[in-house]
A and B are shown apart, each in its own frame.
Chain A
Amino acid sequence: MSSFRFDLLLILVFAIHFAPGLSDLVISKLDRRIDLTSQIVRMTLTLKVENTGTDPVSEVSLTFPEHQANNLALLVAVSTKGKGKSRGSATNLPIKIKQPNDSPPSLIWYAASLPKELGKGESLNMDVLVVFTHMLRPFPEKITQAESQLFLFQESAHFTSPYNVKVQSLTVKLPSENVESYTKLENTKFSGSEIKYGPYENLPALSYSPVIIHFPSNTPFAVAKELVREIEISHWGNVQVTEHYNLIHGGAQSTGEFSRLDFQARPHLRGASAFRNLIAMLPPRAHSIYYRDAIGNISTSNIYGDSSKTLLEIEPRYPMFGGWKTSFTIGYGLPLQDYLFQLGGTRFLNITFGSPMNDVLVENLTLKVVLPEGSRDISVSVPFPVKQSQETKFSHLDIAGRPTVVVEKINVVPEHNQYFQVHYKFSNLSLLTEPLMLICGFFSLFVACIIYMHADFTISKSSSSYLAKLQWDEVQGTIQQLQDIINRCLLIHDKLEASLRELSRNGDVQACKAVRKSADGLLKDFSKESKPLLAILQSSPQAAHILPKVEELMFNRHRWKQRGPLLFGHRNLLE
């Protein structure tokens, strides 16, 4: 505490020597609202900046003491021209950390560049949102199950601005109507759940008036020490998001024993500092949502879906008291057409950056976007500074792996849950490599089968069993060929019978005679073909038992051939 005061003393000393060296901007009105209703401290500044000097000014500097700047997660400044009914459009100002050389080291400067230079005598309205993390200190640091949490918040009633401020006020909003203690300066008022400091007039630049507020708060202090968010895109129609959480209760540490009986019987008295559920706002049309951890599926969850969002309410396996940890995984699938777009020759993914959980502070966020195999020219555009890298992930049906973009950020607050884009190039033909791989896999099985049937793996080619097998194969082949010939003969006979019937119907003798001639020719060919086959059968010892049957068949056929013309001639005589 004493070193803290010394820093501020240094600032005060420098303020006196430093002020004349600045540009002549003056803040004519400053309203600060600090929201302490959750673990993340949000400060909203509404200020009106006037240029009282002669030179036009292109940037406005905001300063914060070092201990606050180290915990600064987000700084957004918006400027509007005009006021009241004639408010112009709001423009976001780009912010840069710009440390002047002669500034004390315990003061960090943020410069907001104006879109248009502020000329002499002009004024500008600015709205600034600053989000701080880890600003509330639990005091006492360890509590038992029955006590409620008390936090310490340190701030300055005068905004440490590098410019003179004409009128300023500070309103601090507390989570409940109780307060343990707060610094009473002049013009301090406590009503409802708000403490109002001000208005203070005509304060010099870099003035500081420390204020300490000690207040109770039992809002959930869910801090994710590590969140790994993996977004996998499949061009077959799905975006799969998997989130691994390592959650801890970041409030006052819990000491002493935990009595489940007391907690279940009187949760508001014995366990006011704990939280039981977490709510996540998933996008609409999310499907296949699962919630599991290292043990298995966790069934204490509920989903309420409508057309604008899917609300997921999850309950960890035990209530979270101060200092207690839990880790789990949430996964869900999203339809592809809501998130992937085509612009010219490139495709881009448009999806939210941070965690969908309400009011969870993420200390280390690792976001991995896994693009399908064959994606080229990958680039990421995120609206705030992040650390990027690339790696490869091997997944289903992959040859070279899927290119993955890894984006890392520290101290992510729910205000960071904005849309970001990943651009890449992909040709639809590369989609075909996946079924092609499956087809090749199946075809290799068939080829292996063919090779097995064709190859001859016997060791001794002259053993009697091998020779007998060869002869058997030959006999089987010959019989199949004979069968083939006989089938073709039968077809010819059918054709002849059909032509005879035609004849009895329309009396066209010439057509009938033509058919008869061709049939005769074919039958002669067949008998020629079957002669060598019969010869093979006769010479082979394996065919001994089947040979008589085949010969009988041949004889029958021969007899029919002889009788057939008689039948035919009979008909002719009839004509």
Chain B
Amino acid sequence: MTQSAKPISSPVPDAWYPSLAVPMLAVGLVITASFFIYEATSSRKNRSLAKELVTGAAASFFLGFGSLFLLLASGVYV
């Protein structure tokens, strides 16, 4: 071969999977908790849709990546 073939590996090193999964899930769950606390304590008049959507988006981002790394760390290579 004129050019040598480079081996391909994962964009995130394998050994980091468990140590990425736990903090991301923890942060995601904390933001979920704050979302639900806001829902429960705010009254109909004072609720702001923007704040709800932003909190929900941030929580789902961290929960999504956290659950992906959790799946990879437990051996289900999706």
Q: Which residues of A are interface residues toward B (Cβ below 8 A)?
A: 234-238, 240, 288, 333, 335-338, 340-344, 347-348, 395-397, 428, 431, 434-436, 438-443, 445-447, 449-450, 453-454, 473-474, 476-478, 480-481
Contact = CB atoms under 8 A, between A and B. Distances in A.
A338 B11 contact: no
Contact of B8 (A340, A397, A441, A481): A340
Contacts of B9: 237, 335-337
Given A288-B75, A340-B7, A347-B8, A450 B56 contact: yes
User: Could you say which interface size class chain B belongs to?
Assistant: 35 or more
Interface of B: 1, 3, 5-12, 14, 35-36, 39, 42-47, 49, 52-53, 56-57, 59-61, 63-65, 67-68, 71-72, 75-78
B5 A342 contact: yes
Contact of B60 (A235, A396, A439): A439
A443 B60 contact: yes
The 6 closest A-B pairs by CB, nearest first: A439-B64, A446-B56, A477-B45, A237-B10, A341-B5, A442-B60
A474 B45 CA distance: 7
Contacts of B63: 438-439, 442
Of the listed residues A235, A441, A443, A478, the one surrounded by the most CB atoms of chain B closer than 10 A to its CB is A443
B35 A480 contact: no
Contacts of B8: 235, 336-337, 340-342, 347
B78 A342 contact: no
Contact of A396 (B11, B47, B65, B78): B78
A536 to B, nearest CB: 10
Nearest to B6: A342
28 contacts: A234-B78, A235-B10, A236-B12, A237-B9, A237-B72, A240-B77, A288-B75, A336-B9, A337-B7, A337-B9, A341-B5, A341-B8, A342-B6, A343-B3, A343-B6, A396-B76, A428-B11, A436-B64, A441-B64, A442-B63, A442-B67, A445-B60, A450-B39, A450-B53, A473-B44, A473-B45, A477-B44, A480-B46
A435 B64 contact: yes
Contacts of B72: 236-237
Of the listed residues B8, B35, B42, B45, the one surrounded by the most CB atoms of chain A closer than 10 A to its CB is B8
Given A337-B9, A428-B11, A435 B77 contact: no
Nearest to A397: B78
Contacts of B5: 341-343, 348
